[in-house]
Amino acid sequence: MIVDHWVFADERPPDRVFHRHAEIEQLLRSLEPVTDGDRAEDVLIYGPSGVGKTTTAKHVLKNRIPYDHTDWTIVNSSKTRAGILHEAIIKHPTDTAVAPNTAADELAATLRRVVDRPYVVILDEADTIRDLSVLRDLYEVPTLSVVAIVHNHREWLARLDQELQEFFSMRSQIEFQRYTTTELVDILEPRVEHGLEPDSITTDQLEWVADEVAGVARYGIQSVLAAAELAVERNHDRVREVDVRDGFDRARAKMRESNLRSLPFGPCVVYELLRLEGSGDWIAGTHIQDRYEDLGDRLYADRNQDPVSRRQVRNYLEKLQEYNLIEGRNETCWREYRVVDSALEAPIEIKLTVK
DNA sequence: TATCCACCGGAATTTATGGAAG
DNA sequence: CTTCCATAAATTCCGGTGGATA
């Protein structure tokens, strides 16, 4: 049934980009000056997750711009001013060596010195950048241009200071909308063709998946894989309706599980506390904080760490929500939480002694 | 209705850690 | 070894909120 898992991996770029023609053309127009060796126009790309923003930007830079005209890179692991400048320097083809703890001003100077022809820096997940003044540093590099990729462009622009805000508002903004069902089917089909045996899954079933995942490609791809996996486990010779139906849950569960595994010990403790105390029911935020305080050192008994403050427990709860592991309700006072999947255990062991 | 109080979460500040340069 | 600069995590501070109490 499944002939190639890699086809479904998040990191795998698609063979071609579907249904982003208008967006590609618009991006190309902004980047056009680089073919004459000039600085490109800066671009703001926005839209929800999983709709091809990063994929499209990468595709355009990689395949649609002649390489001998332009250097480019994608920056997404760094969230601070110095981190972004550092990444932009070391990823520049001049291979400049620079220490990771250099002062930010110095990094900005180095970048200005090193870049002497068009250089496009893609700022992926730019809404998570802490210090947006880095945009000014980048702007002060004569031939450097920025492609910023964000979820909410209004919020992002609001965080900029007056001058930068005006600057970016004047530049081209490209909106990416959710894929329609038929568009998403076109995206799923080549993966199915290369990743599964022929006739493993019907077009109707793909349409169902595309519809269910509301235009989010990543979720759709994982759902197809999950359905195929279930079919294999159940000895079905092709994907059946029940496999598709259960595939959605499995896909979500897998995404949650990998999220949970990526979290450090502290948030895991709070997660596990909430899971064991609540068994799926809503629990007052204060109660979790109380329990955490009561248990105190015992939670960290076999670790070289101390328990953290109540405030930090609240930060953990917020983080767990971002990762879709828990839900919260009541915005102001009397906040309550519950785990999304009470069967999902954190990869740690804690003992809940007397209540 | 007026006052009180616990809680939430934003923002500023401190702490822990680590690499590089002097 | 000490100093400098960086980051991420944690703590401290505090204003807004809204139920509780008199």
Asked if strand C comes closer than 7 Å to A262 Cβ, the answer is: no
* CA-based torsion, A122, A174, A259, A201: positive or negative: negative
Asked if strand B comes closer than 7 Å to A83 Cβ, the answer is: no
Asked if strand B comes closer than 7 Å to A311 Cβ, the answer is: yes
Position A181 scores a pLDDT of: 94
Nucleotides of B under 7 A from a protein CB: 6-11, 18-21
* Locus of tokens 């009470």: A342
Asked if strand C comes closer than 7 Å to A308 Cβ, the answer is: yes
Position A272 scores a pLDDT of: 92
Position A352 scores a pLDDT of: 65
Residues 7-36 of A with CB under 7 A from strand C: none
Asked if strand C comes closer than 7 Å to A333 Cβ, the answer is: yes
Pairing of strands A283-284, A336-339: antiparallel
Q: Compute and round to an integer the Cα radius of gyration of chain A.
A: 24
Nucleotides of C under 7 A from a protein CB: 4-13, 16-19
Asked if strand B comes closer than 7 Å to A327 Cβ, the answer is: no
What is the 3-class SS of chain A, one letter each residue?
Answer: CECCCHHHCCCCCCCCCCCCHHHHHHHHHHHHHHHHCCCCCCEEEECCCCCCHHHHHHHHHHHHCCHHHCEEEEECCCCCHHHHHHHHHHCCCCCCCCCCCCCHHHHHHHHHHHCCCCEEEEECCHHHCCCCCHHHHHHCCCCEEEEEEECCHHHHHHCCCHHHHHHHHHCEEEECCCCCHHHHHHHHHHHHHHHECCCCCCHHHHHHHHHHCCCCHHHHHHHHHHHHHHHHHCCCCCCCHHHHHHHHHHHHHHHHHHHHHCCCHHHHHHHHHHHHHHCCCCEEHHHHHHHHHHHHHHHHCCCCCCCCCHHHHHHHHHHHHHCCCEEEECCCCCCEEEECCCCCCCCCCCCCCCC
Spatial distance from the CA of A310 to the C1' of B18 (Å): 28
Residues 117-146 of A with CB under 7 A from strand C: 130
Chain-centroid distance, C-alpha A271: 21
Please count the other Cβ atoms lying within 10 Å of the Cβ belonging to residue A342: 14
Structural contact between residues A153 and A73, judged by C-beta atoms closer than 8 angstroms: no
Structural contact between residues A59 and A120, judged by C-beta atoms closer than 8 angstroms: no
Cβ-Cβ contacts under 8 Å for A76 (sequence gap 6 or more)? A123, A124, A125
Spatial distance from the CA of A128 to the C1' of C15 (Å): 25
Structural contact between residues A228 and A196, judged by C-beta atoms closer than 8 angstroms: yes
One digit per residue, pLDDT tens: chain A, 355 residues? 899 999 998 888 888 899 999 999 999 999 999 888 888 999 999 998 889 999 999 999 988 887 677 889 888 766 788 888 888 888 888 877 777 778 888 888 888 888 888 999 999 888 878 777 788 889 889 899 999 998 888 878 877 777 777 777 778 899 999 999 999 999 999 999 999 999 999 999 999 999 999 989 999 999 999 999 999 999 999 999 999 999 999 999 998 998 898 888 889 999 999 998 888 889 999 999 999 988 888 888 777 788 899 999 999 999 999 899 999 888 888 899 999 998 998 888 776 664 4
The residues pairing with A147 across neighbouring beta strands, listed in sequence order, are A43, A122
| C1' of nucleotide B7: residue with nearest CA | A333
Q: Provide the CB-side half-sphere exposure for A126 (13 A, CA).
A: 29
User: Which CA distances in Å does A196 have to A3, A200, A212, A215, A301?
Assistant: 5, 6, 21, 22, 48
* CA-based torsion, A297, A303, A306, A312: positive or negative: negative
Asked if strand B comes closer than 7 Å to A306 Cβ, the answer is: no
Position A187 scores a pLDDT of: 94
Asked if strand C comes closer than 7 Å to A311 Cβ, the answer is: yes
Q: Which nucleotide is nearest to A101 (CA to C1')?
A: C6
Asked if strand B comes closer than 7 Å to A100 Cβ, the answer is: yes
Asked if strand B comes closer than 7 Å to A309 Cβ, the answer is: no
Asked if strand C comes closer than 7 Å to A309 Cβ, the answer is: yes
Cβ-Cβ contacts under 8 Å for A121 (sequence gap 6 or more)? A72, A73, A74, A75, A88, A138, A144, A145, A146, A147
Position A354 scores a pLDDT of: 47
Q: Token pair for residue A355?
A: 């209540």
Structural contact between residues A203 and A193, judged by C-beta atoms closer than 8 angstroms: no
Spatial distance from the CA of A166 to the C1' of B16 (Å): 40
